[in-house]
Amino acid sequence: MSWQEIATEKKAHQLDSVPKEWISSNLPSTNELNVIEYPRTFLSPLDIEITESQVPALISQLAEGKWSAVQVTTSFYKRAIIAQQLTNCLTEIFVDRALSRAKELDEHLEKTGTVVGPLHGLPISLKDQISIKGIDSTMGYVSWIGKPAEKNSVLVDILESLGAVPFVKTNIPQTLMASGLISSIPYPTSNPYNRSLTSGGSSGGEGALASIRIPSAFCGVYGFRPSSHRVPYAGCVNSLEGEDAVVSVLGPLSNSLDGIKLFYKSVLSKQPWLKDPLVVRKRWSEDEYNLIDHGSGGQLCFAIMWHNGVIVPDPPIRRGLEMTKDALLAAGHKVIDWTPHKQAEITETWQAIWNSGSDEDFKRAAAPEPVIESMGLLPEDTPLQFRPDQPSTMTAFDLWQVHKQRRDLRQEYAQLWEDSVSKTGTGRPVDAIICPAAPYAAPPHGLNNANVAMISMAFNLLDYPALVIPVSHVDQQFYTQDDREGYERYDPKIHEHAPIVIQVVGRTMEEEAVIAMSEIVDKALKATK
Amino acid sequence: MSWQEIATEKKAHQLDSVPKEWISSNLPSTNELNVIEYPRTFLSPLDIEITESQVPALISQLAEGKWSAVQVTTSFYKRAIIAQQLTNCLTEIFVDRALSRAKELDEHLEKTGTVVGPLHGLPISLKDQISIKGIDSTMGYVSWIGKPAEKNSVLVDILESLGAVPFVKTNIPQTLMASGLISSIPYPTSNPYNRSLTSGGSSGGEGALASIRIPSAFCGVYGFRPSSHRVPYAGCVNSLEGEDAVVSVLGPLSNSLDGIKLFYKSVLSKQPWLKDPLVVRKRWSEDEYNLIDHGSGGQLCFAIMWHNGVIVPDPPIRRGLEMTKDALLAAGHKVIDWTPHKQAEITETWQAIWNSGSDEDFKRAAAPEPVIESMGLLPEDTPLQFRPDQPSTMTAFDLWQVHKQRRDLRQEYAQLWEDSVSKTGTGRPVDAIICPAAPYAAPPHGLNNANVAMISMAFNLLDYPALVIPVSHVDQQFYTQDDREGYERYDPKIHEHAPIVIQVVGRTMEEEAVIAMSEIVDKALKATK
């Protein structure tokens, strides 16, 4: 078979293992763009209750045996299959494996009266690159289809030991570098709020590093990008392996901050550094979560980076930041401005690092499949692109020089952060930076430029933890005259219904504090609604 | 001036700022090899008492004002100047700066009744690459002479804020890669126990990574190599900058484990991650020091790696391990063997990484000074060498592939360590590995092969913390018939008086536990003496 046929074949059999009654034959017309409410029309009241529960409630119902793991897994499957039909979000669906694991958990609870772990019975979806023994892990490469993983990723072992039930794998793009939606394996993933929009980027190569925040931002869910080397990556497939300077990380997406915290704290409780030596040996710190480095959280000073000096965000994004500022001031915190610093240099640096070997990496991994159009193949003079289509001549020594640039940028930012103590009035430097996750709300399929992920990517190079918080949704109006005049090119109609988010950024390895400060921001925002 | 003249000139003026009465005009003949006791013949009883105090006693005398910081600094200077005359251990001597800082500390104590910090008044010597504003920082490169640092390294700021008094800088070799003694700046550093021997390596390029443990081993003092990115490196000069995969680290040498612990714990107390973003945000953990991950230290299981499968250590090194084994068994701990694993591959991997850009790095840093003979220029077919004299053709993509090898080796070792649970009988994996720091005791000046640091270097690639403990000294006898027969090539006469040490190795980022377990090993050893 040609690689095109292999891809089509894979797609054709995707729902083969799914019980027929979970598959809807009465789908909305493709002209219907906002399908976020659609699954409700198919699901039972119990399925809806289960799948719309917040994580702590779900966990507690499971632990008390009020809902069985099999019931919960089944409800989530039903909703996921409809979502798949509507938006093409899944790659692998393994009903037998998941239900059999759920049954084991139910039996364990019945027999022992205790849960297996803090995630007992919680269905969890995994990005396709996270390996499950016996199931395909592709990087969006057709040539990796039909080569099932020989063993679990460390993260899968840990999640299962915590009691979680992996039940589907979610779509990723070719090379992982375009954030979850465009690959030669047919059909891009659509945004459930507006199916003419993307679910996660299509941003010409920046996807992998921003691959938690961009989908969070575009789909309007909480998403946490920890510092590198805190959540175990061992045993996952990846692109650009051996490129160790600016690495992609794994992190949770959830419908609540509780879910984010539970994932992160639970994974650390299993001492992942014992199984993956790249993980930093650092336990969850309740002290840091209680903000000992931030005046115990009494009055915080946030700095808002309204733009990055390169891209002016669209009006709804600015509105999200304004709403956040107002909410934080109303809650008694301080808010100052953060001046963007060398954002273009930062982008050039990580792109130089990636492009130093991306062409050879792509050729070896994907041949005969070509680099697909949407991977960033803009006109040659377009700056700041991930270009696996262009041969690199960089030597190892040259790469060292770029690494030095990166180190110097990190050092400059550390100094900027320390120096901000003179502006906060709290006696401390800025507690966290708040900024857009992307300069736009979810863009249409195929919009392809390097700017989408640029703001978020800067924090990858700096290796800052960052948490995306949903704030609002795009509607068809301008909120100020300034918006109207200044952003004439912007068309709110295109982005209608798309979520608006902000991200909260802390310093390297400060995950606990970022979670705690995000809770403060989230609470302040909710108090104003 | 030619670079040769610049080097000679630098050396000629080294003692210019030193008070005449500190300089001895009655030095022992150069035939006198063991000069370790010599300084005592020049020093006053108080100077001897001060300079031979253990760190906690010294700190406490200073804190109580019984000894002034000026007095203590002066005593240490006197001893250091004699040491310099005997062994050529120093590069920079800055009496005015140090005494003026000591005077400030004395005034502070007198005025406020409190110390500046936990290291109040403690003289500290710094490796030449650690920058002090206004003073030269060379990498053993002649071309860097006369270019004083524009600001302090982060570590210097932290040490001064803790109350320490930097007073001398110590010798390093050209490129840092030959562990502290051979550079074009005249005269190698000699071993005070036997001046025909080296103080620290000359090991053909492995110096930098093993540059804490090899000098510790050869000079018989405690030395601690932490995991990378725990002690701040920012603001130091270095070679191979941008080579971020297998990096050199800073760590303390001391005459006691108390000194090691005090340095490490104090530096972390200053939150170095705020000043150097490469430092991991991880506080000193009293829990980890109390061995919560090691059964609270009750009965530990140590694994001895007698050799690395490549080099058979000399008889006195083996004797040091035997003494340690006996001492640990007598103290009620368990001891099993550790089977060496892929040590040659590990060496090949880090050397491939370094050599990928070392030639270009050297040329840019040192020209017109040539790579010096002792840097490892053995016959071309000698394997496993650091070769800044040979051009590299490695591409960035090739370097990524070597990085992958390194990651895979780290992963294999993590698994080996976890699997050892089946052999310990404690219910835990091996608690720590014990092995030689080098396969020889201090070798003669100029002995130059890649084996000297090979055992220690493996733990750099794996990024394991390792602590060197002095055990004994070489004497002119074989202890067993097996030694005599098996090691005929070995000549104990050459190494006479040289210290014998072992090193205690833990897992990445497990510094606190390694210190605690080293205390247990050290106590056990002392109990048998």
Only one residue has tokens 């051996």, namely A242
User: In Å, how far are B313, B414, B424, B428, B430 from B419, measured between CA atoms?
Assistant: 27, 9, 10, 10, 9
Angle between helix B55-63 and B69-87 (nearest 10) = 150
Say how far apart CA B318 and CA B438 lie, in whole Å. Answer: 11
- Name chain B contacts of A277, Cβ cutoff 8 Å: 410-411, 413-414, 462-463, 507-508
Neighbours of A91 (CB within 10 A): 27
The pLDDT score that the predictor gives to residue A328 is 94
Q: Identify which has the larger pLDDT, B454 or A231.
A: A231
Say how far residue B434 (Cα) sits from the centre of its chain.
17
Residue type at position A163: G
Are A273 and B240 in contact (CB < 8 Å)?
A: no
The pLDDT score that the predictor gives to residue B291 is 93
Architecture per CATH, domain A1-170, reads as Alpha-Beta Complex (3.90)
Top mean pLDDT of A4-13, A135-144, B4-13, B311-320 is at B311-320
Distance from CA of B520 to the nearest CA of A (A): 22
Contacts of B355 (CB under 8 A, 6+ apart): B386, B387, B390, B392, B394
The pLDDT score that the predictor gives to residue A450 is 60
| pTM of the full structure | 0.91
The pLDDT score that the predictor gives to residue B486 is 54
Q: Identify which has the larger pLDDT, B482 or B363.
A: B363
Are A282 and B277 in contact (CB < 8 Å)?
A: no
DSSP string, B317-366: HHHHHHHHHHHHHHTT-EEEE----SHHHHHHHHHHHHHTTHHHHHHHHH
Catalytic residue numbers of B read 127, 202, 211
Say how far residue B140 (Cα) sits from the centre of its chain.
17
Residue B207 predicted with pLDDT over 90: no
- Name chain A contacts of B278, Cβ cutoff 8 Å: 407, 410
Candidates B244, B282, B393; nearest CB to A245 = B244
Phi then psi for residue A165, to 5 deg, are: -120, 95
DSSP string, A433-449: EEE-SSSSSSPBTT---
- Name chain A contacts of B398, Cβ cutoff 8 Å: 396
Lowest mean pLDDT among A461-465, B34-38, B420-424: B34-38
Q: Identify which has the larger pLDDT, B79 or B212.
A: B79
Structure tokens of B390?
């040979």
| pLDDT tens, residue order, chain A (529 aa) | 887 888 888 888 888 889 999 999 889 998 888 998 999 998 999 999 999 999 999 999 999 999 999 999 999 999 999 998 998 888 899 999 999 999 999 999 999 999 999 999 999 999 888 999 999 987 778 888 889 999 999 999 999 999 999 999 987 766 554 433 445 554 578 888 888 887 764 333 334 456 788 888 888 899 999 999 999 999 998 888 999 999 989 999 999 999 999 999 999 999 999 999 999 999 999 999 999 999 999 999 999 999 988 878 888 899 999 999 999 999 999 999 999 999 989 999 998 999 999 889 888 888 777 776 544 444 444 444 567 777 888 999 999 999 999 999 999 999 999 999 999 999 999 999 999 998 888 887 765 556 777 888 899 999 999 999 999 998 876 666 655 555 665 677 788 888 888 899 988 888 888 988 988 998 999 898 7
Are A396 and B356 in contact (CB < 8 Å)?
A: yes
Are A277 and B410 in contact (CB < 8 Å)?
A: yes
Interface size, chain A vs chain B, as Cβ–Cβ contacts under 8 Å: 139
Say how far apart CA A204 and CA A379 lie, in whole Å. Answer: 12
Say how far apart CA B180 and CA B201 lie, in whole Å. Answer: 7
Are B401 and A507 in contact (CB < 8 Å)?
A: no
Beta-bridge mates of residue A304: A337, A434
Residues B113 and B105: beta-carbon distance below 8 Å = no
Q: Tell whether B390 is within 8 A of chain A (Cβ).
A: no
Q: Tell whether A92 is within 8 A of chain B (Cβ).
A: no
Chain B residue whose CA is closest to A293: B271
Q: Tell whether A329 is within 8 A of chain B (Cβ).
A: no
Residue B213 predicted with pLDDT over 90: no
Say how far apart CA B377 and CA B370 lie, in whole Å. Answer: 12
Q: Tell whether B408 is within 8 A of chain A (Cβ).
A: no
The pLDDT score that the predictor gives to residue A209 is 55
Distance from CA of B347 to the nearest CA of A (A): 18
Nearest to A354 by CA among A221, A209, A253, A472: A209
Pairing of strands A432-435, A301-304: parallel
The pLDDT score that the predictor gives to residue B373 is 53
The pLDDT score that the predictor gives to residue B369 is 77
- Kindly state the greatest CA–CA separation across chain A: 67
pLDDT for B135-178, tens place per residue? 998 777 888 888 999 999 999 999 999 999 999 998 776 655 44
Q: Identify which has the larger pLDDT, B14 or B235.
A: B235
Candidates B244, B274, B397; nearest CB to A403 = B244
Distance from CA of B97 to the nearest CA of A (A): 26
* Cβ within 8 Å of B, A 142-201: none
- Name chain A contacts of B403, Cβ cutoff 8 Å: 242-244
Only one residue has tokens 């093409």, namely A88
* Cβ within 8 Å of B, A 342-371: 356-357, 360-361
The pLDDT score that the predictor gives to residue B265 is 95
User: In Å, how far are B160, B322, B427, B525 from B298, measured between CA atoms?
Assistant: 38, 22, 13, 17
Candidates A278, A280, A414; nearest CB to B280 = A280
Distance from CA of A377 to the nearest CA of B (A): 21
Chosen from B246, B290, B361, B399 to mutate, greatest number of chain A CBs within 10 A: B399
Edge to edge, the sheet with strand B123-127 lists: B90-93, B165-170, B123-127
The pLDDT score that the predictor gives to residue B198 is 79
Question: CA torsion B61→B67→B68→B72, rounded to 10°?
Answer: -90
Chosen from A395, A401, A428, A514 to mutate, greatest number of chain B CBs within 10 A: A395
Candidates B244, B245, B282; nearest CB to A282 = B282
Angle between helix B454-462 and B343-355 (nearest 10) = 80
Say how far apart CA B254 and CA B264 lie, in whole Å. Answer: 11
- Name chain A contacts of B273, Cβ cutoff 8 Å: 507-509
b/e per residue B489-516 (b: at least 16 CB within 10 A):
ebebebbbbbbbbbbbbbbbbbbbbbbb
Chosen from A399, A401, A405 to mutate, greatest number of chain B CBs within 10 A: A399
Chosen from B154, B393, B395 to mutate, greatest number of chain A CBs within 10 A: B395
Catalytic residue numbers of A read 127, 202, 211
Phi then psi for residue A162, to 5 deg, are: -85, -5
Say how far apart CA B218 and CA A268 lie, in whole Å. Answer: 40
Q: Give the residue-averaged pLDDT of B32-54.
A: 93
Candidates A245, A400, A508; nearest CB to B277 = A508
Distance from CA of A261 to the nearest CA of B (A): 19
Return the ∠ at Cα B413 (arms to B407 and B416), rounded to 5°.
145
Candidates A242, A273, A509; nearest CB to B404 = A242
Distance from CA of B224 to the nearest CA of A (A): 18
Candidates A273, A276, A411; nearest CB to B234 = A411
Beta-bridge mates of residue B444: B197
Neighbours of B44 (CB within 10 A): 10
* Cβ within 8 Å of B, A 413-432: 413-414, 417-418
- Of the CA atoms within 13 Å of residue A67, those in its CB half-sphere come to 24
The pLDDT score that the predictor gives to residue A382 is 47
Are A274 and B414 in contact (CB < 8 Å)?
A: yes
